[in-house]
Amino acid sequence: MTEPLRLGIAGLGTVGIGVIKIVQKQAELLTARTGRQITITAVSARSRDKDRGVNLSKFAWEDDPVALAKRDDVDVFVELMGGSDGPAKAATEAALALGKHVVTANKAMLAVHGQALALEAEAHGVQLRFEAAVAGGIPVIKSLTESLAANQITRVMGVMNGTCNYILTRMESAGLPYETVFDEANALGYLEADPTLDVGGIDAGHKLAILASIAYGTQVDFNGIEIEGIERVSIEDIRYAGDMGYRIKLLGVAQMTGRGMESRMSPCLVPANSPLGTLEGPTNMCILEGDSVGQIVLRGAGAGEGPTASAVMGDVCDIARGINLPVFGQPSTTLRQAPAARSTVAAPYYLRMELADKPGALAKVATLLGEAGISIDRMRQTGHTEGSASVLIVTHRCTRDALDSALDAMPGTGVLTGTPVALRIEKV
Amino acid sequence: MTEPLRLGIAGLGTVGIGVIKIVQKQAELLTARTGRQITITAVSARSRDKDRGVNLSKFAWEDDPVALAKRDDVDVFVELMGGSDGPAKAATEAALALGKHVVTANKAMLAVHGQALALEAEAHGVQLRFEAAVAGGIPVIKSLTESLAANQITRVMGVMNGTCNYILTRMESAGLPYETVFDEANALGYLEADPTLDVGGIDAGHKLAILASIAYGTQVDFNGIEIEGIERVSIEDIRYAGDMGYRIKLLGVAQMTGRGMESRMSPCLVPANSPLGTLEGPTNMCILEGDSVGQIVLRGAGAGEGPTASAVMGDVCDIARGINLPVFGQPSTTLRQAPAARSTVAAPYYLRMELADKPGALAKVATLLGEAGISIDRMRQTGHTEGSASVLIVTHRCTRDALDSALDAMPGTGVLTGTPVALRIEKV
């Protein structure tokens, strides 16, 4: 038996406490499986006195996470503070510079500074691991990096923000508008301090940027992602989409195209009976597609104490077992900078337009779409109220550019009584 | 750059050819991701002259797979012949004895000889890897062994024989009896030469035995699995189950109980709207449950050239990257022998009985169930034909023993006009 593997944990929120509980409860199992004892030597958090329901007296305490990361008795720095910069980044850099492994759940830090941190980790021959940063307990990083290593990845997709999926499915099941359910979710503590991170699609965008880097051998490029949140998804569109056999999900999709990397995080329609369509509440789902393996669907809890701590500890076990991998699946010096390609992949779209209830209104809209080269797959007009009617259109595959040109010309017809809604229908 | 990793492939069926195609097509990608060139030096199969659509002239040929396994220019022996014994086992043993890594898709060999082969591999410090042996392209072995290493596993489940799931879902969608769909599947080449391996649940049982070993740190025990095939699943039961919101799946379940390992491969009812319930055609699904991670669902193609070859090559990439793990997740010298516990975990059951259409028949059945301590959750009587009526009962949770004692006493009532059907309802 080799020496124990000693952890220093910075950040004692839900996940940090979950990690401590696993190390204590499963000590025997961890040693049996990794061949090493796994221990915690020191911890750090903002408040030393807060009651966290766990006895911390056996661990050394550091007020400063950087000091924790530098301790001689820490082999693996476990970063669970969050935030793309500040103490998380400073402490991670300090640990890597001293040749210590780092395990983190920090998607923001990786999405923004992943390339620099990976270079640093690989220069020092240490591991920087982050299974917990994407989709909580779901083993998506490992599956993509290792299991699918012999595949050219053709598409990566995911519903990776549980709060958004909770809001969307709750709107549907309770028939409530976005604002009401948002307030409910807030009262339940489901939202980040800055809710835009969740409902604005930023948190999920961070995760997509990480997956795309591994999938396509590119440098993490969070700024290259087209991001649209769920704030403007209406209960009407959820209902109409449902009537046509679809559900609306905040879906991240990354594909490599001839023009560069196309990555989007946006509300999309998916078939209601597909795995994505059946996803309820805060559950997450990642879909990996490769040229040999076809489609792999991974589903599980995307957050929470147990699932996220399980992912953190999975990485710790890999390190205890001596597994040694490049941070993003290939040496970071070889990762390419791919240009961001915006919406080049054609798709069918769901359109909803409120039209004035007068003769020829529908014809004008249909003509405009036709002129933009967009053909109509299905159309439905719902009962009209107060002089306007909702017209629902599912188009055949078209480019976003063609669609935007048609939408731009729409107000000129003089028949719209509201702003049109256009949502992509992703083939899954 | 280190030396190339040289493969010797024994067995050039669908999967072997798939592996060759990946090695040739993705040479650059494999080297970028693993840091090593991956090459094929020699191959072996029954017939040298068969046209397989791939140029084999660059590889050395061996008629004897054992000779292939022993070649000095082979670092990894890739065993894709199948069969629990015979040439597959002889060649695998020869490779391990010479300190060569082995990658195999051979579930039968591992289910029967896994413990001995693991001891041999670990004694020589080499890898014996088999992701492709369970559920094709789905990364279930890696997820269980590595990602969930910090979890006490509480249940492992899976639909792991695509042919059976094809037959069951085709029976339902086409309204055809088992025999007809079996013949269809046979004509389509979906069945093994000995179809009992598929429809008898043996192939899926092999896979469950492997998963259970990793999950619970026990020696592989194929004989400890209760196996029931799908041969007696009737279109009537599929329909009735559907009416009550369930679907019938050939489901493997392994749980550690106070009395030992309970592992079953049998037709079960699962909720139609659950991930398992929505599984169509030959797709496979594995569900892993751990004390921290909760429930992880993995779905994908369980067979076929691309998916299975992807899994084989994922293992090869691990070896190229120097990943070094015990065969079943912990050293095989430490794997326990767990007694097989037969049906100790209680569950609700679906019962169908054909009762004579005479007064008091239903009361007699209900009384018998009550006397066995089995309470009824739901009951439904369908229209009767020719003097008998189908009675459907969903019980509350009961043990299989209690149920069997009631079923044993059933003929004594004199009201049955056929053999009762009893299927477990698995909570998923």
Two tokens, residue A361: 């209104």
Query: Is A107 marked as a binding-site residue?
Result: yes
Write the single-letter amino acid at B95: A
Is A294 within 8 Å of B300 when comparing Cβ atoms?
yes
Query: Is B122 marked as a binding-site residue?
Result: no
Name the closest residue on chain A to residue B325, using Cα atoms.
A321
Active site residue A89: no
- What is residue B384's predicted lDDT score, i.e. its pLDDT? 67
Q: Classify residue B334: in a domain, yes or no.
A: no
CATH number of the domain within which B68 lies: 3.40.50.720
Are A96 and A120 contacting, i.e. CB atoms less than 8 angstroms apart?
A: yes
Contacts of A314 in chain B (CB under 8 A): 146-150
Set B70, B207, B249, B364: catalytic member: B207
Contacts of B146 in chain A (CB under 8 A): 139, 142, 314, 317-318, 323
Two tokens, residue B173: 């969608």
Q: Which of B133, B149, B165 is the last residue of a domain?
A: B133
CA distance B227 to chain A (A): 28
Two tokens, residue B310: 């992807």
Residue-wise pLDDT tens digits, B12-31:
999 999 999 999 999 999 99
* Closest among A111, A311, A302 to A211, alpha carbons compared: A111
Q: Classify residue A322: in a domain, yes or no.
A: no
User: Is residue A169 located within the same domain as residue A229?
Assistant: yes
Q: Classify residue A311: in a domain, yes or no.
A: no
Contacts of A215 in chain B (CB under 8 A): none
* Closest among A86, A98, A329 to A219, alpha carbons compared: A329
Q: Which of A282, A301, A320 is the last residue of a domain?
A: A301
Q: Classify residue B315: in a domain, yes or no.
A: no
Residue-wise pLDDT tens digits, A234-259:
999 999 999 999 999 999 999 999 99
User: Is residue B125 located within the same domain as residue B152?
Assistant: no
CB hemisphere CA count around B202 (13 angstroms)? 13
Q: How far apart are CA A133 and CA A80, in angstroms?
A: 10
User: Is residue B295 located within the same domain as residue B208?
Assistant: yes
User: Is residue B387 located within the same domain as residue B276?
Assistant: no
Q: Which of B106, B133, B160 is the last residue of a domain?
A: B133
User: For helices B14-25 and B27-34, what crossing angle results, to 10°?
Assistant: 80
User: Is residue A386 located within the same domain as residue A402?
Assistant: yes
Contacts of B331 in chain A (CB under 8 A): 35
Among A292, A314, A321, beta carbon nearest to B148: A314
CA distance A275 to chain B (A): 7
- What is residue B403's predicted lDDT score, i.e. its pLDDT? 96
Q: Classify residue A224: in a domain, yes or no.
A: yes
In the DSSP assignment, the letter for residue B413 is G
- What is residue B357's predicted lDDT score, i.e. its pLDDT? 84
In the DSSP assignment, the letter for residue A334 is G
Mutate to test the interface with B, among A143, A146, A169, A316 (most CBs of B within 10 A): A146
HEC assignment per residue over A130-183: CHHHCCCCCCHHHHHHHHCCCCCEEEEEEECCHHHHHHHHHHHHHCCCHHHHHH
User: Is residue B160 located within the same domain as residue B244?
Assistant: yes
Among A310, A323, A330, beta carbon nearest to B148: A310
Is A306 within 8 Å of B298 when comparing Cβ atoms?
no
Q: How far apart are CA A202 and CA A84, in angstroms?
A: 12
User: Is residue B365 located within the same domain as residue B396?
Assistant: yes
Name the closest residue on chain A to residue B131, using Cα atoms.
A147
Two tokens, residue B252: 């493997």
Write out residues in chain A with pLDDT < 70, as ranges: 1, 384
Q: Classify residue B124: in a domain, yes or no.
A: yes
Contacts of B143 in chain A (CB under 8 A): 139, 142-143
Query: Parallel, antiparallel, or unpaired: how do β-strands B38-44 and B5-10 relate?
Result: parallel
- What is residue A1's predicted lDDT score, i.e. its pLDDT? 57
* Closest among A205, A210, A228 to A220, alpha carbons compared: A210
User: Is residue B155 located within the same domain as residue B284?
Assistant: yes
Q: Tens digit of pLDDT per residue, chain B (428 long)?
A: 589 999 999 999 999 999 999 999 999 999 999 999 999 999 999 999 999 999 999 999 999 999 999 999 999 999 999 999 999 999 999 999 999 999 999 999 999 999 999 999 999 999 999 999 999 999 999 999 999 999 999 999 999 999 999 999 999 999 999 999 999 999 998 898 899 999 999 999 999 999 999 999 999 999 999 999 999 999 999 999 999 999 999 999 999 999 999 999 999 999 999 999 999 999 999 999 999 999 999 999 999 999 999 999 999 999 999 999 999 999 999 999 999 998 789 999 999 999 998 888 899 999 999 999 999 999 998 876 777 889 999 999 999 999 999 999 999 999 999 999 999 999 99
Write the single-letter amino acid at A304: G
| Residue span of the structural domain in which A184 resides | 140-301
User: Is residue A279 located within the same domain as residue A393?
Assistant: no
User: Is residue B117 located within the same domain as residue B260?
Assistant: no
Name the closest residue on chain A to residue B34, using Cα atoms.
A330
CATH number of the domain within which B369 lies: 3.30.70.260
What residue spans of A321-415 are helical by DSSP H?
361-371, 400-409
Is B310 within 8 Å of A148 when comparing Cβ atoms?
yes
Q: Classify residue A109: in a domain, yes or no.
A: yes
Looking at the 3D structure of chain A, how many domains does it have? 3
Are A284 and A301 contacting, i.e. CB atoms less than 8 angstroms apart?
A: yes
Query: Parallel, antiparallel, or unpaired: how do β-strands A226-227 and A5-10 relate?
Result: unpaired
Are A43 and A16 contacting, i.e. CB atoms less than 8 angstroms apart?
A: yes
Q: Classify residue B102: in a domain, yes or no.
A: yes
| Cα Dmax for chain B | 83
User: Is residue A69 located within the same domain as residue A108?
Assistant: yes
Burial class (CB in 10 A: 0-12, 13-18, 19+), A342: middle
Q: What is the DSSP string of B243-277?
A: HTTEEEEEEEEEEEETTEEEEEEEEEEEETTSTTT
Under 8 Å CB pairs connecting chains A and B tally to 185
User: Is residue A69 located within the same domain as residue A155?
Assistant: no
CA distance A383 to chain B (A): 32
CATH number of the domain within which A198 lies: 3.30.360.10
Two tokens, residue A207: 């995760």
